Chain A
Amino acid sequence: MAENLALEIRNVTKRFPGVIANDNVSFNLRKGEIHALLGENGAGKSTLMNVVYGLYAPDEGEFLVNGKKVEINGPHDAINYGIGMVHQHFMLVPVFSVTENMILGSEVTKGTSLDLKRARKEILEISEAYGLEVDPDAIVEDIPVGVQQRVEILKALYRKANILVLDEPTAVLTPQEAEDLFRVMRHLTEKGVSIIFITHKLKEILNVADRVTVMRRGKVVGHTTPAETDQQGLATMMVGRDVLLEVEKAPAQPKDVVLSVENLTIKDERNVSVVKDISFDVRAGEILGIAGVQGNGQTELAEAITGLRGIDAGEITLSGERIPFEKPRWLVEHGMGHVPEDRHKHGLVLPYDLADNMVLCTYYQKPFAGAFMVRNRDAIQKNADGLMERFDVRAPSTAVAASTLSGGNQQKVIVGREFSRPLKVLVANQPTRGLDVGSIEYIHKEIVKMRDEGVGVIVVSAELDEILSLADRIAVMFRGKIVTVIDAKDATREKLGLWMAGSNPDEE
């Protein structure tokens, strides 16, 4: 069957200081299949793909494309062999148009000038042939994430890729956008493209994959197919133990109101109201879930509550005190914890080591700083050692840069930092985005623990499953308004889905 293999990876080993990211990994991809690569955070999936794409030089190993041995010394080689990659974090230039982004690096020229017209026409042809609709003239920063991703895929196809690597493409997509992506993926395989698909969402694997390869701690630990297994089976295979896919929690025991939002209105940069006259309360000891399709004002609401954004009308009180806006420090000192939506932008300073990241908000307080602004290294180190242990952060040491950690472990650093302060209110925005089922289980358990200790928790999530399993009450946002607040006991996927789409299920 060798002639049916689009790509074969043989015995790849890749070491980083202190970790073996890939330990003698072999992997093959058949022509026209969707091959899912599954594994815990830090298992080495992205590393393996970066090696294939020529971004990292492997310490050992070889590659065969269409049965022929090839040398890959950089993305240029990979592209020449028809390998295309859509990274976990997009690599588009926000201020360029779709066409300009697409041809970046492989510019079509007429004489010495760019032939944008011809490029535009070619892009339209490809987008039609593969069923990927985009407006070639749109500016990338103006288009939704789902469409940006299509641009990334088109970019790979424009470079004549027939092996496509999609590294967690659905992590940032709405369920609808994800469905569109799967449709596109199936279409591509019909046209002979082979796809490596990395995701943490077990349902998606069962839904679209032909085969599954599972990695754990740098090694391949098994192969399976959706027909042979189910969600629980996949989870057990990747984590190496049984995983609770449902959150276990006792009924909430809500006490006094700790956070109250009254008539809040927020306008965005273009002076459009994105949050419109919202009011709600959160009590100590309960979890309020905020559900909604991305872009309905949840981000702005969470930013206002946590001091990252100013408001245009209304007020927010924390334990009876009006909060000043855009003063995150005041909030830190008054018991607000914040797990931000974008952990790379707000949550971490990626080049800093873990110890510094773990005191990011409290670096100036005792015991981390003494007289004359002098930082106390011993206290900072002790704090880091304690959190590493308590929150099971997997890293070679606290001295490594946060950028070298896998997504799950980065999130644990943030969670550890925020949860270890005395809190009254916790805002967790997309707390498990991009995390593996084991880490999700862990972080959910910690959030429930905070609730049981009497913290008022707000969980903002685009994942319905997450909202349904964590929240005690659910508020649904649609076009900047809270359209309903319901008890989690009365909520179903279907009902929430209708509310989120802007209709009222109780009226139909």
Chain B
Amino acid sequence: MDDQAEKEMSTSSGSWLGRLWRTIAVPLAAVLLAMLIGAILLAISGADPIKAYSALFDGAFGSMKAFGRTLAKATPLIFSGLAVAFAFKAGLFNIGAQGQLLFGALVSAVAGFMIHGLPPFLHATLALLIGASAGALYAAIPGALKAYTGAHEVITTIMLNYVAINITDYFADGPFKDTTGGNIVARTPEILDSARIPTIGNIPLGFVLAVLAAVVVWWLLWHTTLGFEIRTVGLSPHAAKYAGMKVAFTVILTMVISGFLAGAGGAIETQGIVGRYQPGFNAGLGFDGITIALLGKTHPFGIIPAALLIGAMKAGASTMQFDAGVAKEITDVIQALMLFFVTADMIVRKLIHARDDGGEKITLSGWGQQ
């Protein structure tokens, strides 16, 4: 959303801290406000908010094991958050991260159980790359539709999400169905051990990959000419054309990279956590990416803490349900409130008396050819 945030990271001029504060004040306040309203809702429904929140915290950070769980939950969220944020930089609203993630999860599972005889590191890398590429290809469709016909990506990606859900369901219940031991559930066979992405101690290797991906995305956007082209197209397609950039190509490439990130998130979920493709296990991960991208102010380094926060709520929800007797759906409500408050940032600004940070505002493009 803003080069401002980037400058805070890379230049030491001026009031470095002041600008950082202006950037994070609203998301921070949105989170606190959402927690506060969550507490009120808990109190109304007869639960003890303090007890509930401390159980939630305990479940997310209370032990090394709990912390590991939080990291595992955050991993696909970082990827889907990066996918949404990356597209956003080119002025594209990729609502389709969910569909791209599903393809990544399914295809990496297929590569994980069908390919035999590869050494572990190679097999895992290959399955991850194939899965991510499936997401990339799937995202190329709305990218090309946007670039050549002007069809709005919000509409096409939403529709393609349904297509993805049904296609992956079909494969998991049909051609690639697990038939061992009289299984009747829609799922693929388990992937080979050589395709697994391990957890070292309590730290899932996938999380390390996610952080690396954030660094690469940051570098790509702000230190390469490709990133310059993507941001220019996002901020001003007309100026991009004037500057001799290939606007249509950039739109497609941005969607491809965005889909690659979402697909990688799905693949890592398959190879690191689930161990196979099973519909339902990946539900919502791509949609959470939208919340996370916005909470993280669409900056790669903002997305990591945002994903950790949502990941922690997912990790701690069961403990909260068990220890405090609170339905774990309350975490979904809190997450929805966070999304509400970051998007309706005018309300939050009024409450905390914060000025507009004056950063780059992306105008999401309307209908029509680029």
Contact = CB atoms under 8 A, between A and B. Distances in A.
A261 interface: no
Contacts of B244: 307, 327-332, 361
Given A17-B14, A399-B13, A345 B224 contact: no
B242 A308 contact: yes
Interface stretch (A103-111, A283-291, A367-375): A367-375
A349 to B, nearest CB: 5
Contacts of A58: none
Interface string A362-397: 011000010011110000000000000000000001
A485 B360 CA distance: 46
Contact of B225 (A331, A351, A375): A375
Contact of B243 (A328, A351, A397): A328
Contacts of B243: 328, 360-361, 363
Q: Give the residue among A346, A356, A372, A399 with the most B Cβ atoms within 10 A.
A: A346
A352 B224 contact: no
A328 B7 CA distance: 30
Interface stretch (B138-146, B172-180, B233-241): B233-241
B7 A372 contact: no
A352 B225 contact: no
B41 interface: no
Contacts of B161: none
B318 interface: no
B226 A338 contact: no
Nearest to A364: B225
Interface in B158-214: none
Given A329-B244, A332-B244, A373-B225, A349 B235 contact: yes
B232 interface: yes
A444 to B, nearest CB: 23
B329 interface: no
A340 interface: yes
B239 A347 contact: yes
A348 B243 CA distance: 9
Nearest to A377: B223
A30 B206 CA distance: 71
Contacts of A372: 224
Given A17-B14, A363-B225, A375-B228, A351 B3 contact: yes
Contacts of B235: 349-352
Contacts of B226: 373
A331 B242 CA distance: 11
B63 interface: no
Contacts of B241: 308, 328, 346
A150 B68 CA distance: 65
A312 to B, nearest CB: 18
A372 B243 CA distance: 20
B45 interface: no
A77 to B, nearest CB: 17
A352 B7 CA distance: 11
Contact of B236 (A350, A353, A364): A350
Contacts, number: 70
Contacts of A331: 244
Interface size range of chain B in the complex: 20 to 34
A397 B241 CA distance: 27
A252 B21 CA distance: 58
Residue among A330, A353, A363 with the highest chain B CB neighbour number at 10 A: A363
B224 to A, nearest CB: 4
B25 to A, nearest CB: 17
A266 to B, nearest CB: 17
Given A351-B3, A351-B360, A346 B224 contact: no
Contacts of A350: 235-236
Contacts of B239: 345-349, 360
Nearest to B3: A351
Interface string A167-193: 000000000000000000000000000
Contacts of A356: 228
A338 B360 contact: no
B223 A374 contact: yes
Contacts of B360: 351
A24 B241 CA distance: 43
Contacts of A338: 242
B225 A346 contact: no
Nearest to B7: A399
Contacts of A369: 225
B91 to A, nearest CB: 12
A356 B225 CA distance: 11
B361 interface: yes
Nearest to A326: B241
Nearest to B222: A375
A21 to B, nearest CB: 15
Interface in A285-321: 307-308
Contacts of A363: 225, 228, 243
B224 A373 contact: yes
Q: Which of B11, B226, B228, B245 has the most CB of A within 10 A?
A: B228
A93 to B, nearest CB: 13
A172 B3 CA distance: 31
Interface string B342-361: 00000000000000000111
Contacts of B225: 363-364, 369, 373-375
Contacts of B13: 397, 399
Contacts of B361: 351
Contacts of A340: 242
A351 B245 CA distance: 18
B110 to A, nearest CB: 33
B40 to A, nearest CB: 31
A361 B13 CA distance: 27
Contacts of A17: 14
A304 B59 CA distance: 64
Contacts of A360: 232, 239, 242-243
A492 B223 CA distance: 53
A349 B224 contact: no
A330 B235 CA distance: 23
Contacts of B236: 345, 349-350
A372 B220 CA distance: 10
Interface string B1-42: 011000100010110000000000000000000000000000
Contacts of A348: 239
B308 to A, nearest CB: 29
Nearest to B2: A351
A369 B225 CA distance: 7
A432 to B, nearest CB: 19
B3 A353 contact: yes
Given A345-B236, A349-B235, A372-B224, 19 more contacts: A308-B241, A328-B242, A328-B243, A328-B244, A329-B245, A345-B239, A346-B238, A351-B360, A352-B3, A353-B3, A356-B228, A360-B239, A363-B228, A369-B225, A373-B224, A375-B225, A397-B13, A399-B7, A399-B13
5 contacts: A328-B244, A348-B239, A353-B3, A361-B242, A399-B7
List 5 A-B pairs, minimum CB-CB distance, nearest first: A329-B244, A351-B360, A346-B242, A373-B224, A328-B244
Interface of B: 2-3, 7, 11, 13-14, 223-226, 228, 232, 235-236, 238-239, 241-245, 359-361
